[in-house]
Structure 1
Amino acid sequence: MKNLILLTLFSSACAFFSCSGDTDSTTTSQDNEVDYDIVIDASSDNFTGVTVNIVPCTLSNGTETNCYEIVTTSAPSDHEMGPWCPSHISDDDSAGGIWLDNGTVYDVDGEFVSNLATFYNDNTWLMYDDNGDIYITETEEDCINAANPNVGEAYQNFCVECIPSYINDITQTWTIPITPIALTTTYSFNSAPGATTGPSTRGVALNGIEFSAPAPVSNILAAYTLAPFDDAGGHINVNQGYHYHAATQDIADRHVITQTDGHAELIGYAMDGHGIYARFDENGDEPTDLDECRGHYDDIRGYHYHVDNAGNNNFINCLKGAYVL
């Protein structure tokens, strides 16, 4: 069976690209694997600054095939970025973003900031002045300095907020297989302890924004800083641009592809070309047969992934398929 799965980074208004790569059947791991191609439409005016090319590529298992080269800006077109840091300890959750800690998503409102010392059982935390005004990075230089893992005491107890105007000239390029190839072994992401293979980026959302590796929460907290994510699970650094660290419930308000059989929505693609779907189906149920990478098969979508709990600061655990070297 061959199915066409539409990656509407860019809505299905006009012509599609459709190419079939060469697969090595000896490397596939499932007899019931569904063979499918990704189809990308880059024609919609709703997604500006995006180009998609078909390029030759070599995959990690040695397969020479065709891939999509996706070049996007680091600004999402389907939602606003931010807010991240509330300005006063009296602010409600509309003034700030979220924080991901130990499997839980917390609203970064004024109360959360004012209670950091209790939350982390450490009286060093005091991120506001006598008037209740929260210390927030104010310049691009502050953003860069506060994001340094070796940040000095000058930026302790700052809420780190890097804003969209700092990333006007950033573009991102991803290359993913048109025809995914599931393998008998998995690839660890190279940000994992001891890992030597695999990319660090998990994938790309349907709006062209990176599904990034887990944020280095321990390093951030060790510096007595807080770098909140917005309600979409994203924040900014000046080298990477805007990027996601988790798929929050806010994903439902963004560009997704609803499935006609009640399956969870398609939200993006992993670096091996396999689809990444939301965590829950339309009944609020999570699949019970996910493998170590958080993937499984069905007869419609072939092998695909389901995202992790947003509070885990994670999307998927590994790659089941060959990725572009």
Structure 2
Amino acid sequence: MVLSACGGSSQTDNETINEDNTTTVQSTFNPDNFHVGALLQTPTTESCTLSGGTVTTCYRVTIPGEPVTNEIGPFCPPTIYSDASEGGIWFDGSGEVYDIDGEFILNLDTLYGSDWQLYDPDTGLVNVTDTQAACEGAARPNVAEEYQNHCVECSLSYLESAVEQTYLIPVEPVALANPNSIGGDNLGITLNGVVLAPPAPVSAILAANTIAAFDDCGGHINPFEGYHYHASTGCTETLLQSDNHASLLGYALDGYGIYGMRNLAGEEDYDLDECRGHSDESRGYHYHSASAGENMFIGCFHGEQGSLVH
């Protein structure tokens, strides 16, 4: 049985009561699993066509695009003397997760090359994109020259329109014969109302001598997508399971659940397929998120995907 984030428990539409009075929890999309406020309206169902051409029934789900369980930020530290509490984190796909404190900024030339200097040596102030113009000049593929060698952060207040997004997610997943690659589109949503984004384009970011800082939850803001997550750091893994299994953090666009990397004992499952998924008797097929240092959630889609509603 799934335990709610508040510690209570109840049977949900996804549970089946077996003959021996145990419960089987299928890891398909369940609106009841979301935090209060993470769905802006009660999901409705409608006919939809999935990525593989299957016509089926989908939930229409609208999320706020910002977390309802925690604050956003901080991202960039103000000075080279700042401690880790004043900045977020950085990961580049190498497996490492770095605290963006003053020492990290000071030693970027050692990590990435002698042409890196994201601070004023006279004042110790970090070069931060702290205006809307700076954010828009830096948070794009072709970073404006004046914003290279900057720590990049943006504010939701810079966005012209609301950050809420609506998705169609299949009520019952449709498995693929051959998995689909993630590509550059968003891959799912979290239980606290935020988009799960594909891997961050770290090669392009580093090529401009910039650090597109993430907060401690693995999220950041750009002027096009708003706030979104690039990794799971524990903030979204909020729905506990009664069998010591890793906690549910959200759903992929194919309708399968995404759980944390490790179970409550700190152990990782080692029978995952190329998509970082597997099946068990309680949840059926489901995914387990990669580590934050890998700059990804899942490796591919096991099922046909729903879509963003424009």
TM range (shorter): 0.7 to 0.9
**8 Å contact from structure 1 (residues 295, 306) kept in 2:** yes
Give matches, 1:1-40, under 5 Å.
37-40=28-31
Q: CA RMSD in A?
A: 2.8
Stretches of structure 1 lacking an aligned partner (at least 5 in a row): 19-33, 192-199
- Once the two structures are superposed, residues 107-151 of structure 1 have per-residue CA deviations (whole angstroms, 9 ceiling, x without a partner) of 00000001111111x221111111101111121121011112212
Q: Which runs of 4+ in 1 moved over 3 A?
A: 8-14, 34-37, 41-51
Give matches, 1:1-325, under 5 Å.
37-41=28-32, 46-47=37-38, 49-101=40-92, 102-120=94-112, 122-129=113-120, 130-167=122-159, 169-191=162-184, 200-248=185-233, 250-251=234-235, 254=236, 256-324=238-306
The size of the alignment, in residue pairs, is 295
1:194 corresponding residue in structure 2: none
* Inter-partner Cα distance in structure 1 for 2:243 and 2:156: 38
- Once the two structures are superposed, residues 257-309 of structure 1 have per-residue CA deviations (whole angstroms, 9 ceiling, x without a partner) of 10000000010001100000000011111111000100000011000000111
* Inter-partner Cα distance in structure 1 for 2:245 and 2:63: 28
In structure 2, the CA distance between the partners of 1:48 and 1:177, relative to structure 1 (3 Å rule), is closer
* Inter-partner Cα distance in structure 2 for 1:278 and 1:229: 19
What letter is aligned with 1:169?
Answer: A
TM-score (structure 2 length as normaliser): 0.87
* Inter-partner Cα distance in structure 2 for 1:281 and 1:37: 19
* Inter-partner Cα distance in structure 1 for 2:41 and 2:7: 12
In structure 2, the CA distance between the partners of 1:74 and 1:255, relative to structure 1 (3 Å rule), is same
In structure 2, the CA distance between the partners of 1:221 and 1:37, relative to structure 1 (3 Å rule), is closer
* Inter-partner Cα distance in structure 2 for 1:124 and 1:13: 55
In structure 2, the CA distance between the partners of 1:162 and 1:169, relative to structure 1 (3 Å rule), is same
Q: State the percentage of identical aligned residues.
A: 47
**8 Å contact from structure 1 (residues 86, 96) kept in 2:** yes
**8 Å contact from structure 1 (residues 9, 207) kept in 2:** no
